[in-house]
Amino acid sequence: MSPLTLTADQARRIAAAVPFTPVDDAREALHALGALQLDPMSRVERAHRLTTLTRMPTPRAGSVATPATLDDMLWRPGEAQLFEGFVHALCLLPIDYWPLWRERHAVRAHRFEQDAELLEEWARVRDLVAASDAGLTLGELELAESRTTGWNYSRTKVAVERAVSAGWLIVSERRAGVRVFDLPERRIPRSLLEAELSPDEIDDLLVTKALRVLGIGTLRELARLFQVPRMRAEAALGRLVAAGAAVPVAVEGWDAAWVAPETLAVAEAPVKSLRWLGPFDNLMWDRDRIHRIFGLEYRLEAYVPKALRVHGPYALVALVGDRMVGQIDLRADRRAGVLEVVGWVPHGGRVPTARLEASLPGLARSLGLGEVGGLGLLRSSTTHSSG
């Protein structure tokens, strides 16, 4: 049976629309995406908040959001709603994914168990956490004479991070932004702790989620989103196709690709939304995919010397409909309550300047800011505009 044929335009529409299921709060965003990347940079807003806000309704004129309250929806005391774990980077994951991470935890636990000296420190940490009422922060676990400073990790810090990656500790709560480490058995429902899924079941669930998050993707892209080994992802796609949960498609210029059946209707519908995407938005994780589908070469310039930057240290991408039309350098001045436009670099074709400009006050309100400054840079840097 020949795969369904899609044009590149149809495939791009799917890729631009499907990742943006509307949500009302941060928990819905986490479940819709399967992961929210964490990063401490906050020139505009913290990564997980910006990704969430991009999918939430824009506050009405006259009202200003408080993005920090999103954190209260996520990290909570008591029974875990989520856990911090690694995908390609440190992410928040729904607690339902704990059984899906069992293999990864086991691999990292095996490596941890080879370090006898570090295991001694882990034993001390484990006893302290077990004796606590509701978990401890790193500061409460570290010895006074040996504390972490910057990238100079104490032995306690290393042991704690290894224990988290091995599934021996869980982070599902933060106190005033500080991670709280606790024993999984005190935070995770027994049904999830005892759930035993086969490798095939794990792969099928993760590849299915990748299809729903990306909308369309090649084998490499679908495997890469949740770091499923390529050969295992290929086998999972075979099972999903047989079950009617995935549809093979042929797209001109692409390798073999797949879509979820329910997303095919999106290929015919014009995409009308305008979104500002942060560098750690789930759609932006795979830079090669972004370049192939949208023609945009994106790189985070935060660690590029200032004189060599083109787009700014934390540029957001303007996704208008199914086109990425440029990158904007923004800075949130929280003391002044202003979202400042520092730079704008258009990308390809006709750029709807007026529409971009009109969207920025809403973005500012989402970020808890009342005004937008520097709009002249947006106008002067764009050679083609429309209303």
β partners of residue 326 = 318, 346
The string of pLDDT tens digits covering residues 259-289 is 999 999 999 889 999 999 999 999 999 999 9
pTM given for the model = 0.94
pLDDT recorded at residue 387: 35
CB 163 within 8 A of CB 112: yes
pLDDT in tens, 176-191: 999 999 999 999 999 9
pLDDT on residue 386:
39
Grade residue 147 by pLDDT with cuts at 50, 70 and 90.
confident
Query: What is the predicted pLDDT for the residue at 377?
Result: 85
Residue 197 has pLDDT above 60, yes or no: yes
Which residues are bridge partners to 36 per DSSP? 92
The amino acid sitting at 53 is: L
Confidence bin at 143 (pLDDT 50/70/90) = confident
E-assigned strands of the chain?
Answer: 4-6, 36-37, 82-86, 90-94, 170-175, 178-182, 216-218, 247-251, 257-259, 274-277, 316-320, 323-333, 338-346, 371-373
Q: Which pLDDT belongs to residue 94? A: 98
Q: How confident is the model at residue 151 (pLDDT cuts 50, 70, 90)?
A: confident
* Percent share of the chain, pLDDT over 90: 87
